[in-house]
Amino acid sequence: MTHALPDRLVDPFERSIDYLRVSVTDRCDFRCTYCMSEHMTFLPKKELLTLEELDRLCSTFVRLGVRKLRVTGGEPLVRKGIMTFFDGMSRHLGDGLDELTLTTNGSQLERFAQPLWDAGVRRINVSLDTLDVDKFKAITRWGSLDKVLRGIAAAKAVGMRVKVNTVALRNFNDVELFDLLSWCAAEGLDLTFIEVMPMGDMGEVQRLDQYWPLKDLRAQLAERFTLSELSYRSGGPARYFEVGETGQRIGFITPLTHNFCESCNRVRVTCTGELYMCLGQEDMADLRAPLRGSESDAPLEDAIRRAIARKPKGHDFDYSRQEVAGQMSRHMSHTGG
């Protein structure tokens, strides 16, 4: 007897939702100035989904048609026992799931590169905003650049493809643009630039002071290099270009100067089981209650479907008129990077 496959997740605008980003912790061993305040109050552990609950939740999404799973945080690799979750998720690779991956600050990669490879992780994103030791310490507050570079080397050594994610920050790494590009080319790393997003109260840090539009960054690159847009897509929001002189691929994620909402195929689940249909909207659905309230997955599936039916057409981020419109009160570390 054959069982009918469940209907795939399709939102009101006929976009197929096949990409899930799931945060496994709000904790991090860095305190990056654009991501969280230095003295964060983290969630009580009882509010976080257990690793078993995360497995059940993600498995349900895979059953409903998710083909790509990205694990985020906080810093996902500081979650105790996290490899249990990766090892569990690896059973879906080739059986519904096309890719299991993560975004990391790189601090724990030296230790976890081989176990992650063994679990089927073939491609990772590493957040790295500067190659200057002192500036790295300043922006991460607690981080070690050398440790991150050793982690990237370890990931490359086991065979992983590494993409560097760099948040474009005015008066910080704008002077390093060509150094970052050259270093990534020499190391064989893809590079993606991201516009800083208005997420959470940073206290003394002003978003408008940090904001460096990627159209300006790209114009600087075009003065020195030939940029050709590529049809390549990674499943995420980046638009990719080839640098003619180096042959490397660089991406641009531009939620503010050029949003990518029309092709949005992804949703995010926080470490507490909140499903956000859009990064730039406050609407969310509680998945923890149906997850903990029933041994059957039917209420969980129903909650997911009802949430996807509310997925908006786009976000409200805007830096025009010298104010931060559409600012989200929650920190990026809570929603998942």
> Are 128 and 164 spatial neighbours (Cβ–Cβ below 8 Å)?
yes
> Are 24 and 71 spatial neighbours (Cβ–Cβ below 8 Å)?
yes
Residue written as token pair 């956000």:
276
Residue list, annotated binding site for [4Fe-4S] cluster: 28, 32, 35, 261, 264, 278
Coil vs helix vs strand at 251: strand
CA distances to 70, 217, 321 from 337, rounded to whole Å, are 10, 22, 27
- Amino acid, single-letter form, for residue 86: F
Residue list, annotated binding site: 21, 28, 32, 34-35, 70, 74, 103, 127, 163, 197, 261, 264, 266-268, 278
Which residues are within 8 A (CB) of 125 and not within 5 positions of it... i.e. 6 or more apart?
101, 102, 103, 104, 162, 163, 164, 165, 192
Distance, in Å, from the CA atom of 114 to the CA atom of 262, rounded to the nearest integer, reads 37
Distance, in Å, from the CA atom of 195 to the CA atom of 258, rounded to the nearest integer, reads 10
Residue list, annotated binding site for GTP: 21, 70, 103, 163, 266-268
Query: Among 245, 197, 237, 253, which Cα is nearest to 221's?
Result: 245
Residue list, annotated binding site for S-adenosyl-L-methionine: 34, 74, 127, 197
